[in-house]
């Protein structure tokens, strides 16, 4: 967690993983286009992306999305410094941040490593094609 010495992060904006989840509908809480959204992001991945974009953030694991309480975790972030200037000049509002994070999450190191073993392991099937009982 990176709070930059700012004690009042309770006033920061909140970003739930549901907002950028391509598997959710708008009614379920998605806030950006399906084509731009990413698949099942986690609060930790979103936090890492905020850090990568030089935006102060705090991950709250004990919180859940109100419409879907099974979706645990949220990220608080602060786009502006106390003097009103932006932490990242390329990101001026919450929507721009959601779009940038949705681009970054699929390339997240933890996500890339998980997908590699699955692609290499199914090179050859273990059993021969015919199944069923053998006749005597």
In the chain the domains, ranked by start, together with CATH numbers, are: 9-111 (3.30.56.30)
C-alpha radius of gyration, the chain, whole number: 20
- Report DSSP state, residue 8: -
Closest CA to 101 of 54, 61, 50: 50
> Distance (Å, rounded) from C-alpha 72 to C-alpha 59?
11
Backbone angles phi, psi at 109, to 5 degrees: -55, -40
The structure's pTM equals 0.71
Please report, in tens digits, the pLDDT of each residue of the chain (136 residues total).
554 454 577 888 999 999 999 999 999 888 999 999 999 988 999 989 888 888 899 999 998 988 888 888 999 999 888 888 888 888 888 888 888 888 888 888 877 665 444 444 444 444 545 555 666 6
Is residue 82 left, alpha or beta, with left meaning phi > 0 and alpha meaning psi from -120 to 50? alpha
């Amino acid at each position: 967690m990176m709070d930059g010495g700012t004690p009042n992060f309770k006033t920061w904006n909140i970003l739930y993983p549901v907002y950028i989840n391509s598997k959710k509908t708008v009614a379920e809480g998605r806030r950006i286009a399906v084509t731009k959204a990413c698949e099942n992001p986690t609060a930790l991945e979103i936090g890492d992306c905020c850090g990568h974009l030089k935006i102060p953030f705090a991950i709250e694991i004990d919180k859940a999305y109100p419409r879907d309480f099974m979706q645990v975790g949220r990220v608080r972030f602060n786009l502006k410094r106390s003097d009103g200037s932006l932490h990242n000049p390329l990101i001026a509002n919450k929507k721009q941040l959601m779009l940038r994070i949705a681009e970054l999450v699929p390339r997240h190191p933890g996500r890339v490593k998980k997908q590699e073993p699955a692609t290499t392991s199914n090179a050859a099937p273990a059993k021969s094609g015919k199944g069923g009982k053998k006749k005597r």
